[in-house]
A and B are shown apart, each in its own frame.
Chain A
Amino acid sequence: MTAEQSLRTPATAPGDTRIHNIGYRSYDGPRLGRGYARLSLYSQSLRGSYGLGRSVKSKVLPMLLFVVMCVPAAIMVAVAVATKANDLPLDYTRYAIVMQAVISLYVASQAPQSVSRDLRFKTVPLYFSRPIETTDYVRAKFAALASALFILTAAPLLVLYIGALLAKLDFSDQTKGFAQGLVSVALLSLLFAGIGLVIASVTPRRGFGIAAVIAVLTISYGAVSTLQAIADAQNSGGDAIAWIGLFSPITLIDGVQSAFLGASSAFPGGVGPSNAEGVVYVLVSLGLIVAGYGLLVRRYKKVGL
């Protein structure tokens, strides 16, 4: 390479600067096609979810939320180490439930950022006039937001886990809890990404998107937990509480993990769904994720070009 370069430009001594008008050069290199384009869109969207490759202003909120997510974990670890406790103050699986407001805020701010911009500035046709297709676009955006959410929710668990090991807590116990936590936040990431993207993809206005996502996540949670509290007060038993829990995303996750991932439920009375009910929870969660994907594909088939 160096030999070739020196051959081509033999007289480029310092100070000998000239502007050459190189004419149009055609491109004969590789064209990597759909898979590569999808991967590029995925990485660009994932980076964008944390403001990387975007303006300084757009880095502030996602980074701040990321820090807010991790700080309590760090404090818990510090407390556990300092007090030589024999367990962490909070289960791995409970962490995301407790921090749900931060997660909701993150989805509300980043889902519209990811899809509403392309709709608002009509960039979508530029994608679909290229080899990638509707499904590629939707998959890349879905996977990117789900990955961003997984990073947001799994990072504090990692902090807890490392801290627990430093505090010399029981290794197998902690590893099991950590793994259960990871499965739970992975499901949560997919579910929240699907809900957030479907809502955001309907409106080209970012503001509406943010408000709508927050509304759907908080109102559904508020309604569900109120109804559960009423059911609990009237002593209508765990069954009613469990069925009501199907109607908000965060209680869905709560139900799934208390049925199958050894988590203690945050439902009133602390009674999670039974195993049979848990199966319904899992099916509803997966159904919502698939439905979200289907709705997105349908939406983008329409706005195509």
Chain B
Amino acid sequence: MVRVTSVCAVTVIATESLSKRFPRVTALDRLSVDVGPGVTGLVGANGAGKSTLIKILLGLSPATEGRAEVLGLDVATEGAAIRERVGYMPEHDCLPPDVSATEFVVHMARMSGLPPTAARERTADTLRHVGLYEERYRPIGGYSTGMKQRVKLAQALVHDPQLVFLDEPTNGLDPVGRDEMLGLIRRIHTDFGISVLVTSHLLGELERTCDHVVVVDGGTLLRSSSTTDFTQTTTTLAIEVTDTDEHPDGTRAVREALHARGVGVEDGSGLPGAGHVLLLTAQGEETYDLVRDVIADLGLGLVRMEQRRHHISEVFRNSDEERKETAGHDS
């Protein structure tokens, strides 16, 4: 089998004016989008057509019109071949409570065509990679939501697919679990070499995880571009400094010094450690130099200076408003 993930110019998913109409709703409306390797976020409100798109891409639901290819295979005619190379993690609960994670994932590996021994080995490997250890021998019924999500992820990865569809993988997780899941999703691409299509209605999540974001709404494509495009227009710097005897409130000293040089500074309110964090807009290389010099002159220690990217949500909100103004459409 040819692994296409290493070649960066290859298209993993391609749709061409793909439409899906149900008797009363249009779930997808002439959607044309190309998705390359890497982690791609599919963003949209509930009912935007994300799950319908995944169903069509798995070859399980015929499109009303248009065509789509996954890994170079036509969804209408080569569904079985696609499903052999693709993993799917549904949004809803899908685990029987009375079997252990190991038994369940082994069974699913065999359903994907893995011989018994390989199924066992891959299950042990995959469960370890998603972070399930001793508990994998216990019945799934006793697992926490986070652990269940890991089992769901493991069954999607166990047959070493070239592409996985993850439908709302962070649903129902607490902030820590959410971060861990996002880290795991990132690793699926960077460490495992598997391309990912992840859906979410939370844009902030995808910003940190995805290389590319596709925004759909009401079944139409709102925007498709790389995450850096979304967020690189301006860069905000977050700065945190130490206090010294000479300057008991280092943060204020820096703010005043920067003010004197004509640079506008905001408090990092709403951020962790608010009151000790300064936010300023970087105009270019010279801003970094200025900050360095100011802090060195004051004799303070620089705890951190980091780029804070703009949130995709702002972009989404803007384009959404534009669209609503022009089309006057409501969903």
Interface: B160 (CB within 8 A):
yes
| Contacting residues, chain B, for A28 (C-beta < 8 A) | 1
Return A247 CB to nearest CB of chain B, in Å: 37
Stretch touching chain A among B53-61, B67-75, B208-216, B300-308: B53-61
* Number of residues on chain B facing chain A (CB within 8 A): 41
With A33-B84, A130-B83 in contact, do A305 and B60 touch (Cβ < 8 Å)? yes
Q: Which residue of B lies closest to A57 (CB)?
A: B98
Please report which residues of chain B, range 37-76, place their CB below 8 angstroms from some CB of chain A when the two chains form the complex. 55, 58, 60-61
Return B297 CB to nearest CB of chain A, in Å: 45
| Contacting residues, chain A, for B60 (C-beta < 8 A) | 128-129, 304-305
Interface: B258 (CB within 8 A):
no
| Choice from B80, B97, B108 contacting A126 with Cβ under 8 Å | B108
Interface: B115 (CB within 8 A):
yes
**What is the CA–CA distance of A140 and B191 in the complex, to the nearest angstrom?**
37
| Contacting residues, chain B, for A36 (C-beta < 8 A) | 110, 113, 115
| Contacting residues, chain A, for B122 (C-beta < 8 A) | 27
With A24-B192, A27-B159, A122-B90 in contact, do A44 and B107 touch (Cβ < 8 Å)? yes
Please report which residues of chain B, range 87-120, place their CB below 8 angstroms from some CB of chain A when the two chains form the complex. 87-88, 90, 92-99, 103, 107-108, 110-115, 118
Does A305 contact B61, Cβ atoms closer than 8 Å? Answer: yes
* Overall SS of chain A's interface: loop
Return B69 CB to nearest CB of chain A, in Å: 18
Interface: A172 (CB within 8 A):
no
**What is the CA–CA distance of A33 and B115 in the complex, to the nearest angstrom?**
10
Does B111 contact A305, Cβ atoms closer than 8 Å? Answer: no
Interface: B174 (CB within 8 A):
no
Please report which residues of chain B, range 290-330, place their CB below 8 angstroms from some CB of chain A when the two chains form the complex. none
Does B111 contact A32, Cβ atoms closer than 8 Å? Answer: no
Does A31 contact B113, Cβ atoms closer than 8 Å? Answer: yes
| Contacting residues, chain A, for B94 (C-beta < 8 A) | 121-123, 125-126
| Contacting residues, chain B, for A133 (C-beta < 8 A) | 80
Interface: A30 (CB within 8 A):
yes
Interface: A208 (CB within 8 A):
no
Return B26 CB to nearest CB of chain A, in Å: 19
Q: Which of A54, A123, A129 has the most CB of B within 10 A?
A: A129
Return B132 CB to nearest CB of chain A, in Å: 15
| Contacting residues, chain A, for B95 (C-beta < 8 A) | 121, 123
Q: Which residue of B lies closest to A123 (CB)?
A: B94
| Contacting residues, chain A, for B110 (C-beta < 8 A) | 36-37, 40, 44
**What is the CA–CA distance of A131 and B78 in the complex, to the nearest angstrom?**
10
Does B93 contact A29, Cβ atoms closer than 8 Å? Answer: no
**What is the CA–CA distance of A305 and B60 in the complex, to the nearest angstrom?**
8
Please report which residues of chain A, range 68-105, place their CB below 8 angstroms from some CB of chain B when the two chains form the complex. none
Does A123 contact B192, Cβ atoms closer than 8 Å? Answer: no
Does B118 contact A29, Cβ atoms closer than 8 Å? Answer: yes
| Choice from B88, B97, B103, B118 contacting A129 with Cβ under 8 Å | B88
| Choice from B83, B87, B97 contacting A131 with Cβ under 8 Å | B83
| Choice from B87, B108, B115 contacting A32 with Cβ under 8 Å | B115
Interface: B125 (CB within 8 A):
yes
- Interface 1/0s, chain A 111-126, versus B by CB < 8 A? 0000001100111011
Q: Which of A25, A127, A130 has the most CB of B within 10 A?
A: A130
Interface: B201 (CB within 8 A):
no
**What is the CA–CA distance of A176 and B118 in the complex, to the nearest angstrom?**
46
Interface: B193 (CB within 8 A):
yes
Does B125 contact A31, Cβ atoms closer than 8 Å? Answer: no
What are 19 A-B pairs at a CB distance below 8 A?
A: A24-B192, A29-B114, A29-B118, A31-B84, A32-B113, A34-B80, A36-B110, A37-B111, A37-B113, A121-B93, A121-B96, A126-B88, A126-B155, A129-B90, A130-B84, A130-B111, A131-B83, A132-B111, A304-B60
